[in-house]
Every structure is written in C-alpha cells, then in structure tokens.
Amino acid sequence: MKKVGRQSVIFDNVYVKSRAVYVGPKEYAGPLGKYFDGYFQDLYCDSKTWEKAEMNLYKCALEKAIEKAGLVETEVDYIIGGDLNNQIIIGSYVARNYNIPMLGVFSACATSMQGIILGGMIVDGGFGKNCLCMTSSHNATAEKQFRYPTEYGGKKPETATLTVTASGAILLTSEPTSIQITRATVGKVFDPEYDDPLDLGRAMAPSAYLTIKQHFQDFDTTMDEYDLIITGDLSYYGREMLISMFKDDGIDISKKHYDCGLLIYDRESQDVHAGGSGCACCAAVTYSYLLKLLEEGRYNKILVVATGALHNPIISAQNETIPGISHAVVFERRK
C-alpha cells in the first residue's frame, strides 16, 4: 500500500525528466532571472489580451518541457494542468492544439504540487509513462478576475502579494533521472476564519502548518530530515505567522524554512509589497531554481509545500471567510 498515515503517499518510481519556466518582465528582473528558460518584455507577452498572454506563457513552457525531454507530443501520456482563471480556461485553450489527453485541476496557488501528486500517482501506478504537469498565473488576469481593474487608483496594503506572471511545466516519468519524487502529502481544506483577500499570505499559513505537521507525523520524521522546507507563496507576513505557529509547538523552523514568494522578487528594490503569489510562483521557483540546486548537489532532499487560498469574490461578498489548502511534495537528488 502506497498510502502512508492519514494524508501521505510514497512514490517508488517517479522522476523528473524535464522542466521549463517562462516568465514576465518583473520576474526576469528579479533575483532568479537567469534561471528561467525564457521571458517576455511586457505583460502582453506578444499577445493581444491579458488572457492570451497567459496562454502564450503556458504554450511556451509546455513545448519547451517536451523539447528538453527529447520527446514528441505523442509520447506524453497526459497533461495535468490548472490555473487561476475561471473554468481553468487557459490550460484547456492551449491544449486544443496538442494531441495529448488532458486532466484539468485546481487548488488555487497549490495547483503546481497538486498536479505533481496526481501525475506521480499516474506514473507510479503504471497508468502512464510520461506525465506533463502544467500551471500558470498572470498578474493582470488575476487582478481583472479577483480584484480591481489594473489602472484603478486604489491602494494596496503592505500585506498584499503580487501575482506572478509565469508558466511552469514539469515532465514526470517512470525511468530514472537525477531528480526523484519520493513522497507527497495531500492537503486538507482548512478555514482559519479569515476574510481579508488582501492578506492571503497569512490566510494560507495555517494550512501550510497543518500539512507540514501531518507530513512529519505520517512519515514519523522531523524537519531535520530535509535540507529545506519551502512554501509556495506565504510571502513575508505569512512566513512570520508560520514560524510563530511552529514556535508555539517548541519548534524553530526559521533556519530551515523559506518561501518562493520571497525568492522570486527582491522586496527591497521591486515594488511587490509582501512578495509573490499565484500558481506559477511555487512552480517557477521550484522548477528553475530549487531543482537546479538539487542537481548541483547543494541540496539533497527538499520539501516543497505549495499553498493555495480558495478565494471566490462572490462567496466572499456573502460574508464568507477564505479557506486554504497546502500540498507537499518531496524532491530528492538521486545518487
């Protein structure tokens, strides 16, 4: 039985064959700019509308990942894809042009790791050999859908995060490579009874805390087993809260923990308030930078915990709070 404990699973034969990330201008100008496969000079990404821009990012990442794996389209068994737009429409529209069966997924900004968990189950269960897991997010499509028009003169508080404009693709396979995916913990939806959509980092921190704790419990381990525990997009204030929650348990996670939202931008020089967020935040940082560090031997084993805020403007207006969910995946360097 590959299920471990209440929420976790073990993978025996799941490896990362290739990955690709395309980003927008602000991400390219950030500290990790040189690690990405490609970038666009403005938010329109050579397209006519914001939505088509996000599709272009998605398409570029998808094709690059397949190319880097040395495969052709027909050798990819499934695309597992999701994004923040209504009806996860970006992935569906891009998939029109490819001859690959598609499974759409959604867990807000935790979509990247959710896709990998499902892809891992497919590959490890013998339901396919190569599985391409996709996600994307775009600053303007997110603002248009969830908040205000991009040119609106309202003020964002310091706790607000900036949705990352990028797309990340990762191809999982059953044949061994230098990076292996060994474990995963599927998150539960948790509602911290918080209702501020401009402070999502803190709204998601409790679900990250619960998933990490459950992971340690299911595998009977501690943070010492990992070189790094990194969350998707808690950003500055969410990270403070996560550290505080673990401190209450007598655990100092601050030296082992960091956050993708704090790596993708430079908070000092770029106007990003609390940091980055969005489906592609965790994907872009993990696939381009963290997995490279694994390959180079700087890390051996990392726990990536993608965090999602399950926010819907209509429900929020009905005086509801914003629940969160976190999915965790372990990436290991295979010696």
User: Which parts of this chain interact with other proteins (CB under 8 A)?
Assistant: 43, 48-51, 139-140, 143-144, 148-159, 192-194, 196, 202, 206, 237, 240-241, 244-245, 248
User: CA 135, CA 148: separation in Å to the nearest integer?
Assistant: 23
Specify the residue, 97 or 244, whose C-beta has the smaller distance to other proteins: 244
How many other β-carbons are positioned within 10 Å of the β-carbon of residue 298?
Answer: 12
C-beta closer to other proteins: residue 48 or 96: 48
> What CA–CA distance (Å, rounded) separates 210 from 326?
8
| Distance in Å, CB of 140 to other proteins, minimum | 4
Give whichever of 52 and 129 is closer to other proteins, judged by the CB atom.
Answer: 52
Cβ closest to other proteins, residue 17 vs residue 26: 26
- Minimum Å gap between C-beta 307 and other proteins is 15
Looking at the Cβ atoms of 15 and 39, the one nearer to other proteins is 39
Q: Measured between alpha carbons, how far is 180 from 199 in angstroms, rounded to an integer?
A: 34
Q: Least CB distance from residue 321 to other proteins, whole Å?
A: 11
How far apart CA 267 and CA 55 sit, in angstroms, is 27
Minimum gap (Å) between residue 199 Cβ and other proteins: 8
Nearer to other proteins, 170 or 274 (CB): 274
Nearer to other proteins, 21 or 274 (CB): 274
Of the pair 254, 300, the CB lying nearest other proteins is at 254
- Phi (first) and psi of residue 149, to 5 degrees: -55, 150
Would you say 19 or 311 has its CB closer to other proteins? 311
Distance of closest approach, residue 202 Cβ to other proteins, in angstroms: 6
Min CB(89)–other proteins separation in Å:
14
Distance of closest approach, residue 70 Cβ to other proteins, in angstroms: 36
User: Minimum Å distance from CB 44 to other proteins?
Assistant: 8
Q: How far is the CB of 215 from other proteins (least distance, A)?
A: 17
Q: How far, in Å, CA of 42 to CA of 80, rounded?
A: 27
If 0-12 CB within 10 Å is exposed, 13-18 middle and 19+ buried, where does residue 268 land?
exposed
- HEC states along the chain? CCEECCCEEECCCCEEEEEEEEECHHHHCCCCHHHCCEECCCCCCCCCCHHHHHHHHHHHHHHHHHHHCCCCHHHCCEEEEEECCHHHHHHHHHHCCCCCCEEECCECECHHHHHHHHHHHHHHCCCCCEEEEEEEECHHHHHHHHCCCCCCCCCCCCCCCEECCEEEEEEEECCCCCEEEEEEECCCCECCCCCCCCCHHHHHHHHHHHHHHHHHHHCCCCHHHCCEEEECCCHHHHHHHHHHHHHHCCCCCCCCEEEHHHHCCCCCCCCCCCCEECHHHHHHHHHHHHHHHHHCCCCCEEEEEEEEECCCHHHHHCCCCCCEEEEEEEEEECC
